[in-house]
Amino acid sequence: MKVQRSTYSLRHRLIAVVGVLGVCGLVLVGRAAHLQLISPDFYQQQGDARFLREVPIPTSRGMITDRNGEPLAVSSPVESVWANPKEVLQHADQLPALAGALGIPAEVLQQRILQKADKEFIYLRRHMNPASAQAVVDLGVPGVYSQREFRRFYPHGEVMAHVLGFTNIDDRGQEGLELAFDDWLTGKKGSQRIIRDRRGRTVENVDLVQAAEPGHDLVLSIDRRIQYLAYRELKSSLIEHGASSGSIVVVDVPTGEILAMVNQPSFNPNARESATMDAMRNRAVTDVVEPGSVMKTLTLAAALESGKFTPDTPVDTSPGYMTLPGGHPIRDFRNYGMLTLTGVLTKSSNVGATRISNELTREHQYDMYQRFGLGQPSGSGFIGEVQGVLRSPNEWGPAEKATIAYGYGLSVTPLQLARAYAAIGNGGRIHEATFVKGADSPSTQVVDPVIARQLMTMMETVTGPEGTARRAAVLGYRVAGKTGTARKAGGGGYVANRHAAVFVGLVPASNPKFAMAVVIHDAQGLEYGGGAVSAPVFHHVMEGALRLMDVPPDNIEQWFAAQAKRKAAALAAAPRPAPVAVTVAAPAAPAPASAPAEVLR
């Protein structure tokens, strides 16, 4: 059987191939035209989705300044290095170089990245110097990037630590005024759309979604100069007397603004990793103390208000001790005999304060203490401030009523003491305490201005020659104040060799500008009382503060007398020229005309 072969045609095959290619070409051209001219948006969005990112715009925290505009807390720009663990692990051979640039052991870095291997973000190191962070990024390790952040810096270190507090690594307030005013200081982050290439580098800023808003600045009532004075003198006193801790509060009398608040021990908020919790407490508002004899001033305020007493009313303190019902003994330093009401304050007589208290009702005594802010918040808004302990008068027995009159059986903060005495200096009007300059601080009249003036005159005797606070006196200024020395409780009772030394004073007494409370704990040695330990601190701080604030002297006679005495002492101590011995010789023959004449000195 004969098989017939089909005829092969090259020409037909070429036509078919060309036709197919032509149709494909037309399809591609048509598709390209459709994408470019008719519906480009969809594919543009798909492409952008692979490279377009919306990133946050960091913003700085508001600056904190003192009342004169000096920076106390500022935010500095830093860089934080982060990575995409999945991408970095694909280039594990570059981890040693990356670890070296970050200052992290290679094993630690690898372990951290492996723990987050299923994530797309991990911080490698926060708050780096921008130049150091750029050096890390310049290594070119895939998946490693940096972003701008801000870090808080405190130029004055431990001097301002307890007032300002600090922020955490995310720049949010954690303690002090940084926490109390966190919402005010914190800015609002913005956001923008950018295009990044495959290596994470920003190619183009596409669109601003939301502008960043920096935090508001905060102007404090604190005066940096007085703060430094208080810090220096408190630290020196603790070293001199071997004390364990202490606090100082300085208040502006007319406004209630806090001008200084310092504590010891302190810490550096710029390097607080090694700080203890004990050092980080703002003791001026978080710790309480039995105030001792500084309470006698407020007890005498109740006595004057009762109408039963005047500053000259006699009070018999003989024989220098007494026993309350129940066997509770009360003693004075010695037998002061008959004193006036003023003398009870001058000599700080416990027996006198008790006998005055016996003439007052529990309710009146309690009401007076409460009006002066004891047992209540000061209004400062400081986070963690305690209100102290002032028990209801219904809980007072005869012993409690007496001991509270001279400073035991209640607990107060140094800020409460400064605020109460500031009210006396302010004509009996008490302000809410504030850390903000120019704040509208509410005030209340707590005692008649006449009584307030009487108390000021009585307190001046405490710093005079016969008083317990002679070391608080400031040359050229009238000083009013009161000492207190209280045994500290512990082990089920009061400990014999542990004391709180307290002094609260006002200056100048004729028109008070400053109220200052000093509390020092556990002074060692023979001198441990308020007059010996705390009063000199008041003297040194106020001597400098009055000069810094240009407060004119109100004891001009004393100032001139002291200046004259100082000049006289300087003249007496000045070296006198030695007498010149002159010898009279017998007349000699005249000298030749060419010889020089002798000069006698």
- The CATH number given to whatever domain includes residue 191 is 3.90.1310.10
Structural domain containing residue 177: 54-219
My answer on whether 358 and 429 are in the same domain is yes
My answer on whether 362 and 493 are in the same domain is yes
352-367 pLDDT tens trace: 999 999 999 999 999 9
Mean pLDDT throughout 94-121?
A: 86
Query: In terms of pLDDT, which residue wins out, 197 or 564?
Result: 564
Tell me how many degrees the CA angle 341-418-550 measures, rounded to the nearest 5. 100
8 Å CB contact between 232 and 77: no
pLDDT band at 111 (very low <50, low <70, confident <90, very high): confident
List the single range of 11-25, 49-63, 361-375, 543-557 with lowest mean pLDDT.
Answer: 49-63
Number of domains in the chain: 2
Mean pLDDT throughout 409-432?
A: 97
Residues 6+ apart with CB under 8 A from 406: 292, 293, 295, 296, 299, 350, 353, 354
d(CA 476, CA 393): 43
List the single range of 50-54, 267-271, 297-301, 313-317 with lowest mean pLDDT.
Answer: 50-54
Which residues are catalytic, by number? 293
pLDDT at 318 over 90: yes
My answer on whether 426 and 331 are in the same domain is yes
Mean pLDDT throughout 107-129?
A: 86
- 35 within domain boundaries: no
- 387 within domain boundaries: yes
8 Å CB contact between 66 and 158: no
- 293 within domain boundaries: yes
8 Å CB contact between 424 and 452: yes
**Structural domain ending residue among the three candidates 189, 219, 249:** 219
pLDDT at 426 over 70: yes
- 29 within domain boundaries: no
Q: What is the mean pLDDT of the chain?
A: 87
- 460 within domain boundaries: yes
My answer on whether 541 and 458 are in the same domain is yes
Tokens of residue 580, six digits? 């010149």
My answer on whether 516 and 414 are in the same domain is yes
Got the DSSP string for 264-302?
ES---GGGGGG--TTTT--HHHH--B--GGGGHHHHHHH
Q: What is the pLDDT of residue 176?
A: 95
Q: What is the pLDDT of residue 43?
A: 56
- 405 within domain boundaries: yes
Q: What is the pLDDT of residue 4?
A: 54
Mean pLDDT throughout 222-242?
A: 97
8 Å CB contact between 552 and 570: no
Residue 449: which CATH number? 3.40.710.10
**Structural domain ending residue among the three candidates 176, 197, 219:** 219
